[in-house]
Amino acid sequence: MREGDKPTVISKQALQRLPYYIRFLRGLKEQGMRIIAAPAVAAQLGLNEVQVRKDLAAMSNSHGKPKAGFIIAELIENMEEALGYNNSDDAVLVGVGSLGRALLGYGGFAECGLNMVAAFDADPALTGGRICGKPVFPMSKLNDICSRMNIHIGVITVPAAAAQAVCDELVKAGVLAIWNFAPTHLTVPPDILVQSENMAASLALLSNHLRQRLREENL
């Protein structure tokens, strides 16, 4: 990894592990620790040692010290920079049903670099006011507000049937990445990213495991 060559490619999987590392390392730092070795991280997070070694090596600007490990504060800094936790991305949320409200009220996004600035809803009864401190606008304002505020992330928490239409509007308004909580596939232009939060998929894994466990017991 050459100096100044920041755009090192990080694999999708590794990228998803970063938040776990960051959270764990922050905890260590608060406890006053200064140095940590990869095997200790692996043990705590239930990961393979080689994987952690590779991840840390890829993320850290400086090298780890054999027999000692990595400087915690530096690791945190490098990882946070890689994820852009420092400069938050502004986002809008569409659909202030129960899930939408829960997300608007969740304080944890700030420390993950996400800043919800406004919400939208098709129901006039829900717009005009504020929810959890965020203004709620009618859908007709979406394009105008997103363009003017230069919003790049859209969060979709509408019913499945409405999701594709909302998605199209967000893309038209200049959004580049979509966080989709509606249980449906969204079609977008090739340069737009859709990240679907996939509750039904998770449930599929859960109940499949359960069925196998219970079947085993019955043998």
- Rounded CA-CA distance 92/119 in Å is 6
Q: What is the DSSP letter of 130?
A: E
172: Cβ contacts below 8 Å, ≥ 6 apart = 143
Each residue 90-109 as x (binds DNA by CB under 7 A) or -, in order, gives: --------------------
Beta-carbon neighbour count of residue 172 at 10 Å? 12
Residue 33 touches which of a copy of itself, DNA, none (Cβ within 5-8 Å per kind):
none
Helix axes 38-45, 49-59, angle to 10 degrees: 120
The answer to whether 126 and 136 are in contact (CB under 8 A) is yes
As beta bridge partners, residue 92 has: 118, 154
> Which one of 40-48, 116-124, 150-158, 174-182 is the stretch in contact with DNA (CB under 7 A)?
40-48
**Rule CB under 7 A: is residue 43 a binding residue for DNA?**
no
Count the alpha carbons within 13 Å of 131 in the hemisphere toward its beta carbon: 26
Residue 152 touches which of a copy of itself, DNA, none (Cβ within 5-8 Å per kind):
a copy of itself
Q: Which two tokens stand for residue 170?
A: 């967000």
Q: Which of 11, 147, 208, 212 binds DNA (CB under 7 A)?
A: 11
Beta-carbon neighbour count of residue 206 at 10 Å? 10
- Rounded CA-CA distance 58/25 in Å is 16
Residue 117 touches which of a copy of itself, DNA, none (Cβ within 5-8 Å per kind):
none
**Rule CB under 7 A: is residue 150 a binding residue for DNA?**
no
Q: What angle do CA 113, 114, 119 make, to 5 degrees?
A: 170
Residues that bind a copy of itself (CB under 8 A): 7, 10, 12, 15-20, 23-24, 44-46, 83-84, 89, 98-99, 101-102, 105-106, 108-109, 112-114, 152-153, 160, 176-177, 179, 183-185, 187, 191, 193, 195, 197-215
Q: How far is the CB of 209 from a copy of itself (least distance, A)?
A: 4
Q: Which of 68, 160, 203, 204 binds DNA (CB under 7 A)?
A: 68
Q: How far is the CB of 74 from a copy of itself (least distance, A)?
A: 19
Residue ranges in contact with DNA by CB under 7 A: 11-14, 37-40, 47-51, 53-54, 56-57, 60, 63-70
